[in-house]
Chain A
Amino acid sequence: MKLRIQYAIVLGVIAVILPWLLSDFRVFQLNLMLVYAIAILGLNLLTGYGGQISLGHGAFYAIGAYTAAVLMDKAAFSAYATLPIAALVCLVSGVLMGFPALRLSGHYLALATFALAMAVPQLLKYKGIEDYTGGVQGIVLDKPQPLFEFEFLGKALSEDRWMYYLVLIVTVLMFWLAHNLVNGRIGRAIVAIRDQPIAAGALGVNLTAVKTITFGVSAAYTGVAGALGAIAVSYVAPDSFHTFLSISFLVGAVVGGLGTIPGALFGAAFIQFVPNVADEISKSAPWAVYGAILLALVYVAPGGVMGMINKLKRGDSK
């Protein structure tokens, strides 16, 4: 146990100092990476631990983002206050989506959520809600301003660094919550349902309740990520939540390692930085490179990055 605490302290120190070692732009990229990590962790709870496949988590990311954007734009909410509300709204929408999902498994659920991901951009442009969502124009938000001046290593506490600490706190909180959830009673029930649903039912696990709650919590995670993403980018528009966003989340979950908590960080780094690399490799087909990497990973290391790390750990510990 001692070793893990040492890891945690070292990581904590690095996390706090990091933004002062990087330029504003890199910090902005780091913020996006942490936001994606929360979204992927949410998806991981549902797919990695719960075994329910979702190709539509971009929809909850969009709902979270728009909840925050509309509250900040129309109701002059402060950015921080929108986070819990976005979580709540997405929890409810997750549970609502969870009910039909109860009767679906495997391919069918993947299909239903894929349809959701494709329909969301159009729904956001719907005339009926245009005066709230700004329709196709989207909504421009202003970033939360740092509350005090601060200088360190020759760099000022800019909006991005302020945003970094907000995102860092939320990320640590979410990862800690997930850790407890997964190792607690509910977590065991979720995993039991994934591996032996009928046996789990026989042991008195209330499948309906656990599955819908898992869907709700997973949606809430992705919703909070959506809200943070909207604030960090300070602009939302229907075209920001294209179908490929949901695919990227799934890719991140797989690359990082399904059924693992830290895996979400590696997955987030992958979907944040690899597209830029792929863009350099081939201007006309960045997605071909992206797809090829994904295929290679599925064949070579289905356990993802965490799978490899565990294999190394198990390897040398023998």
Chain B
Amino acid sequence: MNRKLTVLSLAAGIAMAISATSAFAAKYDAGASDTEVKVGNIVPYSGPASAYGQIGKAISAYFKGVNANGGINGRQITIISLDDGYSPPKTVEQARKLVEQERVLFLAATLGTPTNSAIHAYMNKKKVPHLFVNTGAHKWGDPTGNPWTMGLQPDYQVEGKIYAAHILANNPNAKIAILYQNDDYGKDYVKGMEDGLGDKKGMIVAKASYETTDPTVSNQMATLKGSGADTFFNVTTPKWAAQAIKGAAELGWKPTHYLNSVSSSVGSVMVPAGAENGIGVISSNYFKDPADPAWANDAGFIAYKAWMEKNMPGENIAEGFFTSGYIHAAAIEKTIQQAGDDLTRKNIMKQAASLDFGNGMLLPGVKFKTSATDFFPIENKQLMRWNGKSWELFGDVLGPK
């Protein structure tokens, strides 16, 4: 009996030795080890916003591919993606499960403004990185107040200002009508537009909000058309954006139409709304829309298509949500790469705050850029106009350099 014991204790001794030596070289927090880095993610797979669940699917697929060819710095990346059904109390529960139960190294690409607000304080109190939250609300880039939270996409107010600047430049005495969703996302855009117009805020002649439970926005469109506006700022999520574009055409109302980037997807907005109905619509984006024929033979898109076929066989290439997942995953991968063997939460945060790289699916001239004081990785966008078949980029890359 005791022979077995000695063998066991010998093995244990060796194991201890190995982990001890490597411990000097690499420093780990919970969720990181020689062989694995655990990353948490929360998206709504069920409930009213379940369409965004596809972003989570893309992120998990991305890291399955990364693990297939060796992982990062020799470590396998485990993405634990949980469903919160877009309900804030559930987000709190899932975040605590990831941090305290699964003991992940950091959280990334959690989706939704109310859901992220619910865990904003918790993540910063627990000093766990809350990276690349997938919402454009302005409050995520606050290095002093909430040093552990960082956004990714250009925030809605910046985009609102870009459109305001374009209106002032091209049609100084325009009469603007705004249709916006009645929540943070919608109000941030409206505030951005108002700040962008500055003292000429009076140009906004009509505003109408809608609820995510409204069956259609037809009567809001009727009211806005009735206001006699010649410029229309469309701040809606994909389903209502398509309705608004089609509705305007059916009502025979042809304003200069500005569409927020959240709904600029060719596959789930422009085509369903009727490609010819959207001619002349101006929007902006920071990544290449996979359904847009303009990128058919672009190197970045070809690499993306290959990636899709390898890691997400049978999925719809034209789906913009997968691209969003792909870009968020690229930022996560870059951060872990830069952290090297110092996989502590402090260092992850430091690396996230010193990113400077491009990506095949970002528009030319747009890249990830962060610093200790700038927690908005992507801030520049390019305007584009819908020509009935695809988006035509025009003007130069706007936003801070």
Contacts and interface: CB of A to CB of B under 8 A. Distances in A.
Interface string A276-287: 000100011111
A286 B83 contact: yes
B101 A233 contact: no
B96 A233 contact: no
Interface stretch (A183-191, A201-209, A239-247, A262-270): A239-247
Given A23-B101, A137-B184, A244-B47, A237 B117 contact: yes
A122 B88 contact: no
A137 B121 CA distance: 14
Contacts of B93: 28-29, 32, 233
Contacts of B47: 242, 244
A222 B96 CA distance: 25
Contact of A239 (B87, B97, B99): B87
Contacts of A238: 114
A235 B101 contact: no
Contacts, number: 86
A25 B100 CA distance: 6
A192 B96 CA distance: 46
B325 to A, nearest CB: 14
Nearest to A32: B93
Given A25-B97, A32-B93, A235-B88, A138 B46 contact: no
Nearest to B187: A136
B89 A240 contact: yes
Given A25-B97, A125-B182, A279-B45, A140 B117 contact: yes
A242 B87 contact: yes
A279 B89 CA distance: 16
Given A138-B117, A234-B121, 10 more contacts: A23-B100, A24-B100, A25-B100, A28-B96, A136-B182, A233-B93, A235-B92, A237-B117, A240-B88, A286-B83
Of B48, B113, B114, B120, chain A has the most CB atoms within 10 Å of the CB of B114
Interface string A115-140: 00010011001000000000011101
A239 B88 contact: yes
Contact of B45 (A23, A245, A286): A286
B71 interface: no
A187 to B, nearest CB: 32
B386 interface: no
B96 A283 contact: no
A229 interface: yes
Contact of A118 (B46, B92, B100, B213): B213
Contacts of B118: 138, 233, 235, 237
Given A136-B183, A137-B184, A237-B88, A287 B46 contact: yes
A229 B87 CA distance: 13
A121 B213 contact: yes
Interface residues of B, number: 33
Nearest to A244: B47
Contacts of A235: 88-89, 92, 117-118
A242 B82 contact: no
- Give the 6 A-B residue pairs with the shortest CB-CB distance, closest first: A25-B100, A136-B183, A235-B118, A237-B114, A233-B89, A240-B88
6 contacts: A125-B211, A136-B182, A140-B117, A235-B117, A245-B87, A283-B45
B163 interface: no
Interface in A207-240: 229, 233-240
Contacts of A28: 93, 96
Contacts of B213: 118, 121-122
Interface size class of A (residues with CB under 8 A): 20 to 34
Interface in B102-145: 113-115, 117-118, 120-121
Contacts of B114: 136, 138, 237-239
Interface of B: 45-48, 53, 57, 82-83, 85-89, 92-93, 96-97, 99-101, 113-115, 117-118, 120-121, 182-184, 187, 211, 213
B299 to A, nearest CB: 33
A286 B94 CA distance: 15
Nearest to B86: A239
Contacts of B97: 25
Contacts of B46: 285-287
Contact of B92 (A136, A233, A239): A233
Given A136-B184, A237-B117, A242 B101 contact: no
A136 B85 CA distance: 17
Contacts of B121: 140, 234
Interface in A1-58: 23-26, 28-29, 32
A284 B87 contact: no
Nearest to A233: B89
B64 to A, nearest CB: 14
B374 to A, nearest CB: 24
B100 A125 contact: no
Nearest to A282: B45
A122 B114 CA distance: 15
A271 B187 CA distance: 34
**Max chain A CB contacts within 10 Å: which of B48, B82, B118?**
B118
B72 to A, nearest CB: 24
A237 B90 CA distance: 12
A149 B71 CA distance: 44
Contacts of A138: 88, 114, 117-118
A32 B97 CA distance: 13
A136 B112 CA distance: 12
Nearest to A239: B114
A287 B53 CA distance: 14
Given A242-B47, A242-B87, A284 B117 contact: no
A91 B121 CA distance: 33
A242 B48 contact: yes
A68 to B, nearest CB: 14
A239 B213 CA distance: 12
A284 to B, nearest CB: 6
B186 to A, nearest CB: 9
Tell me which of A236, A239, A286 has the highest count of chain B C-beta atoms within 10 A of its own C-beta: A239
